[in-house]
Structure formats: structure tokens, C-alpha cells
């Protein structure tokens, strides 16, 4: 599926459901002038599409298109195509997510409430489709799926989509009986967690080299930037708790021991979904293969992350996360550690490992009664 001009996008013939009515209109570009597109509807929504008709279209037309206003319906119909592998569905859903993120990060357009509202609606529909595909995936299976997907030249897009997927997997593991709208909220928060970077130069955002102290201070402003953008452009989306999205955006760089930014929150004062996002953020940054750096094997990645448990990461959530990584055997021999100011949102040419400091025990965590209370709050907030 490819982004097109004039609010149309192309779709594959092989991904159109046959022998049933289709919930979108089909168009062709009837113009012979490459610079002048003219879309004509050839098949109306809710009409029955037979295999013979589809074969005829495939023989007659080079490409079929769907109007942007019907992207959500197209994605929903895609989920019901049992003959399409999850990797192909995920690639199309990812393309859709990039389309909406691209609207937010378009430097030629002013960030407005309307753009945010449209993006929020579109991202929600995209995450809903993703949940339908990967809701039963554990972290290991999801990691394998992500490895099959193509990557964009803008790190923030790929990273945000991957983080969204890991948030879905982790939250589903933490709350196995959670309703779909809660899981979608977790995925949506992961998808939008770096929204504040729209206020930062792409030269800094896409720089895989070590940032100067001044550049890093600019990067550290993105949670505040994102939060302020959401406060200044209030919008509503059915089934989405906008207040929780704001907290995820603002708190995903807070550390469990209070050493994070921008507010120095600690423990359960950090929203549950921000803590979920922090783990997803970290894991994707060191395990997803990019052109910038070699990634860590899963076992080494978990070992590296374990040194941040109780410091950067929620101990209980990390335990759930590691349980969701199948066939994992930790040898305890890994001596790699990342500094506390490691920013998973930033591309890295070389992961900045250092010699570990002596370990220490953090007191005051593991209060099961308080934990259950905090973990239960989200149900009340979105229910």
C-alpha cells in the first residue's frame, strides 16, 4: 500500500476480499498525464466482489486505489483476509501508521488541532488493526515479526511503531483479560510517545552520532514539548482517554528511581502505561536491526536491561516482560551496561556501553497491594 496524491492510496489486488461485499470504493487513475491525476470510481462500496470481477480488474487495470477517507475500512477488511500472512498485514498497517505520523512531522505544515485530531483518529484505527493482528503474540514472536518489516529512513517513525507493538504485547501480558480499548490505548501511547519531537530539528533527531551536551539538552525537552502540544490542542477521540495519552507522552523518560526527566517522578507516581512504554522503548532501541548499529541478541538485551531494573525500569513490569520472552536462558555472564542517560528514542551509531557500577538493592518496591491498586486504575479511567 502506497501513499498517493489527491488523498488516494494504492492497494494490492491480492488483498481485496472476494465473494463478499467490500466496505470501500475502488478507483482507477484515468489520466494519461503523470503530473495530472484523475480518479474514477469503478466499484462502489458494499457491492459484492466476485473472483471473476477481480480477475477482470487485474487484467484491465494497472493499479487500484482507495480514498483516504476509507483507509480505516480497508484496514478492517484486511484483518479478515485469512489467506494473508500476519507479516504482510503488519507491513500494510505500518505503512498506514507512517502516513499519519508523516502528517504530524510535516515541516511544511503548521501543527494544528485539526491535524492532531485527524492524526489521533487515524492512529487509533491503525492501532486497532494492529491489536487484531498481534493480540496473541508474545514478545519473542513479535520480535521475529518486526524483523521482517521494512524500515523507513526516519528513525522516529519505525521506532514509534515498534514501541507501539511492544506496548501492546507487554500490556496484554500484564493484563491478560484487558478489554481491547485498553490494549489500544497502550499501543496508541507508544505510537505517539515521541510526538514532542515535531518541535525539534530533524538534523538532531536523525543524528546517529554522539550528541553534544547542548543537543542532548534539546532532545530532553521533547516530553515537555509533546505535553504542551497536546494541552494547547485539545481534541477528543471516542474510546481514547486523552489525559492518559498526555501522561505517556510526558512521563515515558521518567525513571523508576526518580532520576529521569522532565519532572523526576518515581515509582507508581509514573503512569502505568508510561512505565510500559519505557520498557518497550528500551528493548526496541537495542534489539531492532538498523543501518546505524549492530543490535544485541535477545538474551544480551534482557541482561543489559536487567541492570536498569529499579533504576530506569519498573521491576514488576520487567518481570512480566521477560516472562513473555520464550526460551530465554540468562547466564548471568553479560557485563554490558548502558548509562542512565541512554536515550532509546535516538538513533545510535554505536551503543554507548560502559563498565557496570557495583549493584545495589532498592528498598520500597514490591508492595503487591499498592501495585494491584495502581494497575487497576487504568480500567476505571478508560471504562
What cell numbers appear for 296 in the block? 544485541
Q: Residues 272, 254: contact at Cβ < 8 Å?
A: no
Fold of 86-382: Hypothetical protein af1432 (1.10.3210)
Segment-wise mean pLDDT, segments of 10 residues, the chain, 383 residues? 63 88 93 78 94 93 93 89 90 94 85 89 95 92 92 88 96 95 97 95 84 90 96 88 96 96 96 98 86 73 92 96 71 57 62 54 38 46 40
The rounded distance, in Å, linking the Cα atoms of 195 and 216 is 17
Strand bridging mode 8-11 / 64-67: antiparallel
Nine-digit cell at 80? 479478515
* pLDDT for the residue numbered 3: 42
Give residue 288's pLDDT: 81
Q: What is the pLDDT of residue 353?
A: 61
Q: What is the pLDDT of residue 106?
A: 85
Q: How many CA atoms lie within 13 A of 358 on its CB side?
A: 1
Which residues have CB under 8 Å from 151's CB, separation 6+? 158, 290
Is residue 348 within 8 A of residue 296, CB to CB? The reply is no
Residues 232, 306: Cα–Cα separation, whole Å? 38
Give residues with Cβ within 8 angstroms of 56, minimum separation 6: none
Cell (9 digits) for 276: 510500559
CA-CA distance, 199 to 357, in Å (whole number)? 35
**CA distance linking residue 113 with residue 129, whole number of Å:** 24
Compute CA distances 213 → 220, 285, 341, whole Å. 11, 21, 12
Contact 31, 85 (CB under 8 A): no
Pair 1, 11: CB distance under 8 Å: yes
Q: What is the model's pLDDT at position 54?
A: 93
Position 1 scores a pLDDT of: 44
Cis amide leading into 262 (omega within 30): yes
pLDDT in tens, 178-202: 999 999 999 999 999 999 999 998 8
Query: Which residues, in sequence order, are bridge partners of residue 9?
Result: 3, 66
Predicted confidence at residue 337, as pLDDT, reads: 65
Q: If you search the block for the grid coordinates 538498523, which residue do you land on?
A: 290
Q: Where are the domains of the chain?
A: 1-84, 86-382
pLDDT of 316-373, one tens digit each?
Answer: 999 999 998 864 544 444 556 666 666 665 666 566 565 555 443 333 333 444 444 4
CA angle, corner 269, sides to 196 and 319, nearest 5? 95
Amino acid at each position: 500500500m502506497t501513499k498517493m496524491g489527491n488523498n488516494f492510496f494504492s492497494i494490492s489486488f491480492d488483498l481485496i476480499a472476494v465473494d463478499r461485499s467490500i466496505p470501500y470504493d475502488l478507483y482507477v487513475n484515468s489520466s494519461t498525464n503523470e503530473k495530472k491525476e484523475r480518479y474514477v470510481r469503478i466499484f462502489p462500496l458494499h457491492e459484492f466482489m466476485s473472483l471473476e470481477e477481480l480477475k477482470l480488474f487485474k487484467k484491465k487495470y494497472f493499479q487500484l486505489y482507495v480514498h483516504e477517507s476509507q483507509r480505516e475500512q480497508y484496514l478492517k477488511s484486511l484483518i479478515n483476509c485469512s489467506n494473508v500472512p500476519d507479516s504482510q498485514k503488519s507491513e500494510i498497517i505500518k505503512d498506514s501508521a507512517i502516513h499519519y505520523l508523516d502528517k504530524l512531522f510535516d515541516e511544511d505544515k503548521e501543527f494544528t488541532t485539526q491535524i492532531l485530531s485527524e492524526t489521533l483518529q487515524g492512529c487509533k484505527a491503525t492501532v486497532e488493526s494492529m491489536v487484531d493482528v498481534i493480540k496473541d503474540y508474545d514478545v519473542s514472536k513479535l520480535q521475529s515479526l518486526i524483523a521482517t518489516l521494512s524500515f523507513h529512513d526516519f528513525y522516529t517513525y519505525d521506532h514509534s511503531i515498534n514501541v507501539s507493538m511492544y506496548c501492546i504485547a507487554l500490556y496484554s501480558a500484564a493484563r491478560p483479560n484487558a478489554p481491547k480499548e485498553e490494549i489500544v490505548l497502550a499501543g496508541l501511547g507508544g505510537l505517539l510517545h515521541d510526538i514532542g519531537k515535531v518541535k525539534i530539528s530533524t538534523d538532531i533527531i536523525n543524528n546517529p552520532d554522539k550528541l553534544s551536551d547542548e543537543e542532548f539538552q534539546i532532545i530532553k525537552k521533547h516530553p515537555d514539548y509533546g505535553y504542551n502540544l497536546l494541552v494547547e490542542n485539545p481534541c477528543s477521540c471516542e474510546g481514547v482517554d486523552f489525559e492518559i495519552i498526555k501522561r505517556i507522552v510526558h512521563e515515558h523518560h521518567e525513571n523508576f528511581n526518580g532520576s529521569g526527566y522532565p519532572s523526576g517522578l518515581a515509582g507508581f507516581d509514573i503512569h502505568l502505561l508510561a512505565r510500559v512504554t519505557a520498557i518497550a522503548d528500551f528493548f526496541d532501541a537495542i534489539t531492532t536491526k538498523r543501518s546505524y548499529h549492530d543490535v544485541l541478541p535477545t538474551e544480551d538485551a534482557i541482561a543489559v536491561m536487567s541492570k536498569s531494573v529499579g533504576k530506569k525500569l519498573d521491576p514488576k513490569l520487567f518481570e512480566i516482560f521477560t516472562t513473555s520472552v520464550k526460551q530465554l536462558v540468562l547466564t548471568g555472564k553479560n557485563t554490558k551496561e548502558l548509562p542512565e542517560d541512554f536515550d532509546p528514542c535516538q538513533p545510535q551509531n554505536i551503543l554507548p556501553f560502559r563498565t557496570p557500577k557495583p549493584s545495589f538493592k532498592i528498598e520500597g518496591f514490591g508492595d503487591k497491594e499498592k501495585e494491584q491498586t495502581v494497575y487497576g486504575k487504568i480500567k476505571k479511567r478508560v471504562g
